[in-house]
Protein backbone atom coordinates (compact mmCIF):
# COMPACT_ATOMS: atom_id res chain seq x y z
CA UNK A 1 0.00 0.00 0.00
CA UNK A 2 1.45 3.37 -1.03
CA UNK A 3 1.09 6.79 0.56
CA UNK A 4 0.51 6.03 4.25
CA UNK A 5 0.38 8.76 6.90
CA UNK A 6 3.92 10.01 7.39
CA UNK A 7 5.23 11.62 10.56
CA UNK A 8 8.62 12.90 11.62
CA UNK A 9 9.29 12.81 15.36
CA UNK A 10 12.10 14.48 17.28
CA UNK A 11 13.73 14.21 20.71
CA UNK A 12 15.75 17.10 22.12
CA UNK A 13 18.67 16.69 24.49
CA UNK A 14 20.42 19.53 26.31
CA UNK A 15 21.97 20.53 29.63
CA UNK A 16 19.75 22.70 31.80
CA UNK A 17 20.99 25.66 33.79
CA UNK A 18 19.05 26.84 36.81
CA UNK A 19 17.65 29.84 34.93
CA UNK A 20 14.19 29.21 33.52
CA UNK A 21 14.54 31.99 30.93
CA UNK A 22 17.76 30.44 29.58
CA UNK A 23 16.25 26.95 29.47
CA UNK A 24 13.06 28.04 27.74
CA UNK A 25 15.12 29.99 25.17
CA UNK A 26 17.33 26.94 24.72
CA UNK A 27 14.35 24.64 24.23
CA UNK A 28 12.87 27.06 21.68
CA UNK A 29 16.13 27.17 19.70
CA UNK A 30 16.25 23.38 19.53
CA UNK A 31 12.55 23.09 18.61
CA UNK A 32 13.31 25.42 15.69
CA UNK A 33 16.26 23.23 14.72
CA UNK A 34 14.05 20.12 14.86
CA UNK A 35 11.49 21.89 12.66
CA UNK A 36 14.24 22.69 10.13
CA UNK A 37 15.01 18.96 10.06
CA UNK A 38 11.39 18.29 9.17
CA UNK A 39 9.99 17.35 12.59
CA UNK A 40 6.22 17.35 13.18
CA UNK A 41 6.24 16.33 16.86
CA UNK A 42 9.06 17.54 19.11
CA UNK A 43 9.71 16.17 22.58
CA UNK A 44 11.51 18.34 25.16
CA UNK A 45 12.99 16.71 28.27
CA UNK A 46 11.22 16.47 31.65
CA UNK A 47 11.04 19.61 33.87
CA UNK A 48 13.32 21.48 31.47
CA UNK A 49 12.69 24.89 33.08
CA UNK A 50 15.43 24.33 35.66
CA UNK A 51 17.74 22.01 37.50
CA UNK A 52 16.24 18.68 38.59
CA UNK A 53 15.35 20.06 42.02
CA UNK A 54 14.15 16.68 43.41
CA UNK A 55 17.74 15.93 44.47
CA UNK A 56 16.81 17.88 47.62
CA UNK A 57 13.78 18.12 49.88
CA UNK A 58 13.50 21.90 50.12
CA UNK A 59 10.38 23.88 50.92
CA UNK A 60 11.62 26.85 48.88
CA UNK A 61 11.54 24.70 45.73
CA UNK A 62 7.73 24.56 45.85
CA UNK A 63 7.90 28.15 44.60
CA UNK A 64 9.03 26.73 41.25
CA UNK A 65 5.56 25.25 40.68
CA UNK A 66 3.13 27.16 38.45
CA UNK A 67 -0.59 26.74 37.80
CA UNK A 68 -1.63 25.12 34.53
CA UNK A 69 -4.01 27.89 33.53
CA UNK A 70 -2.17 31.05 32.58
CA UNK A 71 1.18 29.23 32.54
CA UNK A 72 3.62 31.48 30.69
CA UNK A 73 5.91 28.67 29.51
CA UNK A 74 2.97 26.79 28.02
CA UNK A 75 1.76 30.00 26.33
CA UNK A 76 5.18 30.58 24.83
CA UNK A 77 5.29 27.02 23.48
CA UNK A 78 1.75 27.44 22.08
CA UNK A 79 2.95 30.49 20.15
CA UNK A 80 5.96 28.57 18.88
CA UNK A 81 3.97 25.50 17.92
CA UNK A 82 1.47 27.64 15.98
CA UNK A 83 4.25 29.50 14.18
CA UNK A 84 6.09 26.30 13.16
CA UNK A 85 3.11 23.94 12.87
CA UNK A 86 4.62 21.39 15.25
CA UNK A 87 3.19 19.42 18.18
CA UNK A 88 5.02 20.04 21.49
CA UNK A 89 4.44 18.19 24.78
CA UNK A 90 5.45 20.70 27.50
CA UNK A 91 6.64 19.24 30.82
CA UNK A 92 6.21 21.45 33.90
CA UNK A 93 5.92 21.51 37.71
CA UNK A 94 2.23 22.14 38.31
CA UNK A 95 0.62 23.82 41.30
CA UNK A 96 -3.10 23.06 41.67
CA UNK A 97 -4.25 24.81 44.85
CA UNK A 98 -2.48 22.79 47.56
CA UNK A 99 -1.65 19.86 45.29
CA UNK A 100 1.42 19.60 43.08
CA UNK A 101 1.97 17.44 40.04
CA UNK A 102 4.70 16.54 37.60
CA UNK A 103 2.67 17.33 34.48
CA UNK A 104 2.83 17.63 30.73
CA UNK A 105 0.53 19.75 28.54
CA UNK A 106 0.13 18.58 24.95
CA UNK A 107 0.19 21.43 22.43
CA UNK A 108 -1.17 20.63 18.98
CA UNK A 109 0.36 21.96 15.75
CA UNK A 110 -2.00 24.98 15.64
CA UNK A 111 -1.16 26.00 19.21
CA UNK A 112 -4.27 24.43 20.75
CA UNK A 113 -3.73 22.98 24.20
CA UNK A 114 -5.14 19.44 24.00
CA UNK A 115 -4.94 18.82 27.75
CA UNK A 116 -2.85 17.55 30.55
CA UNK A 117 -1.28 14.30 31.73
CA UNK A 118 -0.06 14.11 35.34
CA UNK A 119 2.75 11.65 36.14
CA UNK A 120 1.26 8.55 37.74
CA UNK A 121 4.31 6.76 39.16
CA UNK A 122 6.32 9.00 41.48
CA UNK A 123 9.83 7.76 42.33
CA UNK A 124 11.60 8.14 45.64
CA UNK A 125 15.16 7.36 46.70
CA UNK A 126 18.52 9.09 46.90
CA UNK A 127 18.73 11.90 44.36
CA UNK A 128 15.23 11.35 42.99
CA UNK A 129 13.02 12.39 45.91
CA UNK A 130 9.94 13.20 43.89
CA UNK A 131 7.43 12.07 46.52
CA UNK A 132 8.34 15.15 48.58
CA UNK A 133 6.99 17.38 45.81
CA UNK A 134 4.46 15.58 43.65
CA UNK A 135 1.07 14.08 44.34
CA UNK A 136 0.48 10.91 42.32
CA UNK A 137 -1.16 11.99 39.07
CA UNK A 138 -4.94 11.65 38.88
CA UNK A 139 -5.50 11.87 35.12
CA UNK A 140 -4.89 8.22 34.30
CA UNK A 141 -3.03 7.26 31.14
CA UNK A 142 -4.18 9.31 28.19
CA UNK A 143 -3.89 9.64 24.45
CA UNK A 144 -4.04 12.87 22.49
CA UNK A 145 -5.34 13.20 18.93
CA UNK A 146 -2.79 15.57 17.38
CA UNK A 147 -2.61 16.77 13.80
CA UNK A 148 -0.02 14.14 12.91
CA UNK A 149 -0.77 11.11 15.09
CA UNK A 150 -2.64 9.87 18.10
CA UNK A 151 0.04 9.99 20.78
CA UNK A 152 0.49 8.67 24.30
CA UNK A 153 2.64 10.74 26.65
CA UNK A 154 3.88 9.52 30.03
CA UNK A 155 6.68 10.87 32.19
CA UNK A 156 10.05 9.42 33.22
CA UNK A 157 9.47 6.86 36.03
CA UNK A 158 6.25 5.84 34.20
CA UNK A 159 8.59 4.39 31.59
CA UNK A 160 9.47 1.47 33.89
CA UNK A 161 5.86 0.21 33.90
CA UNK A 162 4.69 -1.90 30.94
CA UNK A 163 1.10 -1.37 32.13
CA UNK A 164 1.32 2.35 31.35
CA UNK A 165 2.58 1.77 27.82
CA UNK A 166 -0.04 -0.93 27.19
CA UNK A 167 -2.86 1.27 28.54
CA UNK A 168 -1.91 4.06 26.15
CA UNK A 169 -1.63 1.78 23.13
CA UNK A 170 -4.94 0.07 23.99
CA UNK A 171 -6.51 3.54 23.77
CA UNK A 172 -5.07 3.92 20.30
CA UNK A 173 -1.68 5.58 20.84
CA UNK A 174 0.36 5.26 17.66
CA UNK A 175 3.59 6.62 19.16
CA UNK A 176 4.71 6.80 22.80
CA UNK A 177 6.61 9.80 24.22
CA UNK A 178 8.55 9.96 27.49
CA UNK A 179 10.16 13.20 28.70
CA UNK A 180 12.79 12.12 31.25
CA UNK A 181 15.39 13.15 33.85
CA UNK A 182 17.72 10.30 34.78
CA UNK A 183 21.42 9.90 35.38
CA UNK A 184 23.87 8.83 38.05
CA UNK A 185 22.80 7.60 41.47
CA UNK A 186 24.28 9.80 44.22
CA UNK A 187 24.38 6.92 46.74
CA UNK A 188 26.33 4.53 44.47
CA UNK A 189 28.62 5.71 41.69
CA UNK A 190 29.00 2.14 40.36
CA UNK A 191 25.33 1.96 39.47
CA UNK A 192 24.65 2.93 35.85
CA UNK A 193 21.07 2.25 34.78
CA UNK A 194 21.25 3.40 31.18
CA UNK A 195 21.27 -0.01 29.45
CA UNK A 196 18.52 -1.36 31.71
CA UNK A 197 16.55 1.85 31.07
CA UNK A 198 16.84 1.46 27.32
CA UNK A 199 15.98 -2.24 27.26
CA UNK A 200 12.83 -1.73 29.34
CA UNK A 201 11.48 0.90 26.94
CA UNK A 202 12.54 -1.04 23.87
CA UNK A 203 10.36 -3.79 25.34
CA UNK A 204 7.31 -1.49 25.53
CA UNK A 205 7.86 -0.43 21.96
CA UNK A 206 8.28 -3.99 20.64
CA UNK A 207 5.50 -5.51 22.76
CA UNK A 208 3.03 -2.89 21.53
CA UNK A 209 4.44 -2.47 18.01
CA UNK A 210 4.68 1.31 18.23
CA UNK A 211 7.58 3.73 17.86
CA UNK A 212 8.74 5.27 21.13
CA UNK A 213 10.53 8.60 21.72
CA UNK A 214 12.57 9.47 24.82
CA UNK A 215 14.18 12.80 25.65
CA UNK A 216 16.61 12.99 28.59
CA UNK A 217 18.80 15.82 29.81
CA UNK A 218 22.61 15.85 29.99
CA UNK A 219 24.94 17.74 32.31
CA UNK A 220 26.16 17.70 35.90
CA UNK A 221 23.82 19.38 38.39
CA UNK A 222 24.82 20.15 41.96
CA UNK A 223 22.07 21.14 44.39
CA UNK A 224 22.29 22.33 47.99
CA UNK A 225 20.33 19.94 50.16
CA UNK A 226 19.45 19.92 53.83
CA UNK A 227 22.56 17.69 54.38
CA UNK A 228 25.16 19.40 52.17
CA UNK A 229 25.47 19.07 48.40
CA UNK A 230 24.07 16.41 46.07
CA UNK A 231 25.20 15.89 42.51
CA UNK A 232 23.76 13.97 39.53
CA UNK A 233 25.32 13.63 36.09
CA UNK A 234 22.42 13.12 33.69
CA UNK A 235 23.26 10.56 31.04
CA UNK A 236 21.29 11.75 28.02
CA UNK A 237 21.12 8.76 25.66
CA UNK A 238 17.83 10.07 24.30
CA UNK A 239 16.55 7.69 21.65
CA UNK A 240 13.82 6.77 19.19
CA UNK A 241 12.72 3.22 18.46
CA UNK A 242 10.97 1.68 15.50
CA UNK A 243 7.91 -0.54 16.03
CA UNK A 244 9.83 -3.70 16.91
CA UNK A 245 11.75 -1.91 19.64
CA UNK A 246 14.86 -1.40 17.53
CA UNK A 247 16.76 1.81 18.27
CA UNK A 248 16.89 3.86 15.08
CA UNK A 249 18.25 7.16 16.41
CA UNK A 250 20.27 7.72 19.57
CA UNK A 251 22.25 10.44 21.34
CA UNK A 252 25.35 10.00 23.47
CA UNK A 253 25.75 10.94 27.13
CA UNK A 254 27.50 14.29 26.66
CA UNK A 255 26.37 16.23 23.63
CA UNK A 256 23.41 18.40 22.92
CA UNK A 257 21.31 16.77 20.23
CA UNK A 258 18.21 17.00 18.06
CA UNK A 259 17.22 13.48 17.03
CA UNK A 260 14.74 12.89 14.23
CA UNK A 261 13.13 9.81 12.72
CA UNK A 262 10.33 9.38 10.23
CA UNK A 263 7.58 6.77 10.23
CA UNK A 264 4.74 5.60 8.04
CA UNK A 265 1.93 5.20 10.57
CA UNK A 266 -0.39 3.25 8.27
CA UNK A 267 2.35 0.75 7.45
CA UNK A 268 3.09 0.33 11.16
CA UNK A 269 -0.63 -0.09 11.88
CA UNK A 270 -0.83 -3.00 9.42
CA UNK A 271 2.31 -4.50 10.92
CA UNK A 272 0.80 -4.16 14.44
CA UNK A 273 -2.44 -5.80 13.42
CA UNK A 274 -0.72 -8.49 11.35
CA UNK A 275 1.48 -9.56 14.27
CA UNK A 276 -1.64 -10.48 16.25
CA UNK A 277 -0.84 -9.51 19.83
CA UNK A 278 -3.88 -7.24 20.06
CA UNK A 279 -6.06 -10.07 18.72
CA UNK A 280 -4.73 -12.62 21.18
CA UNK A 281 -4.84 -10.63 24.42
CA UNK A 282 -6.81 -12.25 27.28
CA UNK A 283 -7.83 -9.38 29.58
CA UNK A 284 -10.06 -11.65 31.66
CA UNK A 285 -6.90 -13.52 32.75
CA UNK A 286 -5.05 -10.37 33.81
CA UNK A 287 -7.06 -9.58 36.97
CA UNK A 288 -4.00 -9.91 39.19
CA UNK A 289 -2.69 -6.78 37.48
CA UNK A 290 -5.41 -4.84 39.28
CA UNK A 291 -3.92 -5.65 42.69
CA UNK A 292 -0.63 -4.76 44.38
CA UNK A 293 0.13 -8.28 45.64
CA UNK A 294 -1.11 -10.37 42.73
CA UNK A 295 -4.20 -11.75 44.47
N1 LIG B 1 13.64 9.88 37.17
C2 LIG B 1 13.66 8.91 38.21
C3 LIG B 1 14.78 8.01 38.10
C4 LIG B 1 15.01 7.20 39.33
C5 LIG B 1 16.31 6.52 39.30
N6 LIG B 1 16.66 5.87 40.54
pLDDT at 129 over 70: yes
CA of 83 to the centre of ligand 1 (A): 35
Give 226's pLDDT tier (boundaries 50, 70, 90).
confident
CA of 202 to the centre of ligand 1 (A): 17
Other Cβ atoms closer than 10 A to 155: 28
Q: What global pTM score does this model have? A: 0.97
Complex ipTM value: 0.89
Q: Of all atoms in ligand 1, which is nearest to the CA of residue 156?
A: 1
- Residue nearest to ligand 1 atom 3, measured at CA: 182
| 54, 94, 95, 119: the active-site residue | 119
| 130, 156, 174, 221: the active-site residue | 156
- Burial tier of 47 (Cβ tally within 10 Å: 0-12, 13-18, 19+): buried
CA of 282 to the centre of ligand 1 (A): 32
CA of 182 to the centre of ligand 1 (A): 5
pLDDT at 231 over 70: yes
pLDDT digits (tens, 9 = 90+) for 22-62: 999 999 999 999 999 999 999 999 999 999 999 999 999 99
Catalytic residue status for 254 = no
Which of 157, 186, 217 to mutate to test ligand 1, by most ligand atoms within 8 A of the CB atom?
A: 157
**Phi and psi angles of residue 217, each rounded to the nearest 5 degrees, phi first:** -80, 165
How far apart are alpha carbons 51 and 122 in whole angstroms? 18
**Phi and psi angles of residue 54, each rounded to the nearest 5 degrees, phi first:** -70, 0
Residues with Cβ within 6 A of ligand 1? 123, 125, 128, 156-157, 181-182, 185
End-to-end CA distance of the chain: 46
Q: Are the C-beta atoms of 133 and 61 separated by less than 8 Å?
A: yes
Sorted by where each starts, the structural domains of the chain and their CATH numbers stand as: 6-290 (3.60.110.10)
Single out the residue of 45, 23, 34 nearest to residue 89, CA to CA: 45
Give 2's pLDDT tier (boundaries 50, 70, 90).
low
Amino acid sequence: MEGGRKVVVSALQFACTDSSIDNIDHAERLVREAHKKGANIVLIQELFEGYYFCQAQREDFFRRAKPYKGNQTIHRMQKLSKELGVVIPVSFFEEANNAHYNSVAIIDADGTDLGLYRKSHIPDGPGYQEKFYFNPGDTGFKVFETKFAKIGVAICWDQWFPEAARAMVLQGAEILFYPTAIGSEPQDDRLDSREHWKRVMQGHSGANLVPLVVSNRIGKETIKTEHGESCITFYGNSFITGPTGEIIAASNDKDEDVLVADFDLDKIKSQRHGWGVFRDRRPELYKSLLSLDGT
